[in-house]
Amino acid sequence: MKLFSTSRTCAGVLVACSVLAAGVTAQSVSFQGDTFTNHGLVGVGRIAASTRDSFGETFGSFSAFYLDQASWGRSGNTYSGTLYTQPDRGYNGAGTTNYAPRFNEISFTFTPAAGGAPAQNQVALNLVQTTRFQESGGTLFTSLDPTPSGTGSRPAITPQALPQAHTGRLALDAEGIVRRPDGTLYVSDEYGPYVYRFSANGTLLSVVNSPDALLPQRSGATSFASNNPGVGQPAPSPANPVSGRQNNQGLEGLTISPDGTKLYALLQSATRQDLNTASVAGSRANTRMLVYDLATDPANPALIAEHVVQLPTFAPTTASGPGSAAVAAQSELIAINDTQFLLLARDGRGNGLDNPSTAMVDEGRSDFRQILLLDITGATNIAGTSFDDLGASIAPGGVLNSGLTPALSSSFIDLNDAAELAKFNLGNGTSFGADNLSEKWEALSLASALDAENPDDYFLFVGNDNDFITADGFQDGGAYDAGFENDNMILVYRVTLPSATLAAIPEPSAFAALGGAAALALALTRRRSRADAR
């Protein structure tokens, strides 16, 4: 299925480098002894909101995606690769539905336009296939909100309780996705919060357990409901858990170390016991990152580290000026080495929250969408301590325990940069419609620029979650009309990451003799050697 096409072509490595130099004003950040550079927005791609997947249902969103490094290659100034993309729980109208969670495989090409372009077609995306998640007997997962009381039991898979809908199916609000070379997948979940391990055909293999402190509790028991009941189902009481992950604030971020030995999962924002329940928006900054060992047992990885990550704060605009400080929840992270990451954090404003019947309202313009640099090197490891106990707090009332050292972070890329968006006729709240960035940006992937003269340069792919919003939608056997079109989009930035141990390119003479995956494999070996020498 062809979702979008590109008409721009360019040839030659030297031409690409000269265009980059002429068309970009770089912005650099000094962080942990290195200089990281944002060379700006160099491409955009779209999937129409009304697009259907392989099962004839609305394609959905980029709650996360994972770029297969072995597929990445270059011909002249055009790159190609494969993305594994993760939609979340489907279109929510009156409540959650029986939409079956799934992932999509997408082939794509990318032709950078460093100086900008009138058309948003630098990334051309083609749906290859859709795969739904199921249990070993073939029973599909569901997106229905789990029951407020009672849980699922799968003793052959895990001893822990699992989110289960009133239908008896396991409930999954899929957010992050990581794919290993053997095709197995790790998928993070908002309901649990857990990380699920699936085979290449989407069959559940095992569950990566979370510390008890993250499991939502109501009335003295684990309760996975997120206060989004399906039609006719009861709402939980209280609406939010008294401890554990907040509603719809589960394991949003998921990434793997470049060498494949560690899995990182990050809670979207603070647990209930780590914030001030009287002022949630401004006190939910102290969230938790979980680090698992994949080298020893990828089927049942052990928790080897847990760190506090402090999310950024900002002052949202109101009709009368800046409002009270609020915390920007994180939506995704990607590892650039064993201890450093790019972290995507944002507010909840954008196209889709404004009103098309008026010129514009504040909700259509975002105050905060940024990608940050994150380093956990000096952060306290609380894994296996009393902080992991049920209801245990690292930040009573939202104030971090003085004995804990959080990860370091620094601003890197501002997705709301008006000048960069304008290069591709995009804006942040400048008008209602398709060229105004949508509310939710939740996906990150990196790939080498395969540039012999700039071996530390990468392309950063950033994707949105469109919430399945379309006027021509179809899921779970029925049509729906969400009122307008909210396309899936990808923004691509060129960045310099000197501390990255991701695959980079080989020396120029070797690059000329190698193509795609072979060049990448050689580059990875050389890049790791450079990292070992640091």
Classify residue 356: in a domain, yes or no: yes
Q: Which of 197-211, 276-290, 295-309, 343-357 has the lowest mean pLDDT?
A: 343-357
Say what the pLDDT of residue 417 is. Answer: 97
d(CA 77, CA 498): 23
Q: How far is CA 534 from CA 58, 499, 501, 529, 531, in A?
A: 47, 9, 11, 9, 5
Q: What is the pLDDT of residues 428-456, one digit of tens each?
A: 987 778 899 999 999 999 999 999 999 99
Report the C-alpha dihedral over residues 46, 50, 56, 58, rounded to 10 degrees.
80
8 A C-beta contact, residue 459 and residue 42:
yes
Q: Which of 158-172, 245-259, 353-367 has the lowest mean pLDDT?
A: 353-367
Report the C-alpha dihedral over residues 180, 182, 184, 185, rounded to 10 degrees.
20
Tell whether the model's pLDDT for residue 3 goes beyond 80. no
- Coil, strand, or helix at residue 98? coil
Buried b or exposed e, range 97-108, using 16+ CB within 10 angstroms? bbbbbbbbbbeb
Say what the pLDDT of residue 352 is. Answer: 72
8 A C-beta contact, residue 132 and residue 90:
no
* Helix (H) / strand (E) containing 282: helix 280-283
Classify residue 167: in a domain, yes or no: yes
- Coil, strand, or helix at residue 429? coil
Domain count, the chain: 1
d(CA 492, CA 498): 19
User: How much of the chain is in helix, strand and coil states, percent to nearest 5?
Assistant: 10, 35, 50
Report residue 531's pLDDT band, with 50, 70 and 90 as the boundaries. Answer: very low
Classify residue 436: in a domain, yes or no: yes
Q: Where are the beta strands (DSSP E) in 268-377?
A: 286-293, 302-310, 313-314, 317-318, 321-322, 326-327, 329-335, 340-346, 369-375
Q: What is the pLDDT of residues 261-317, one digit of tens each?
A: 999 999 999 999 999 999 999 999 999 999 999 999 999 999 999 999 999 999 998
Q: Which domain holds residue 116?
A: 13-502
Tell whether the model's pLDDT for residue 223 goes beyond 50. yes
Question: How does the average pLDDT of the chain come out, rounded?
Answer: 90
Classify residue 28: in a domain, yes or no: yes
Q: Which of 312-316, 334-338, 518-522 has the lowest mean pLDDT?
A: 518-522
8 A C-beta contact, residue 284 and residue 246:
yes
Classify residue 507: in a domain, yes or no: no
DSSP per-residue letters across 130-157: EEE-B-TTSPBPB-SPPPSS--B--TTT
Classify residue 172: in a domain, yes or no: yes
Mean pLDDT of 175-195: 97
% pLDDT > 70, the chain: 88
Classify residue 521: in a domain, yes or no: no
Classify residue 3: in a domain, yes or no: no
| Site of tokens 């009103």 | 355
Cis amide leading into 163 (omega within 30): no
CA atoms 353, 354, 355, 361: torsion sign: positive
Mean pLDDT of 396-422: 98
Tell whether the model's pLDDT for residue 259 goes beyond 80. yes
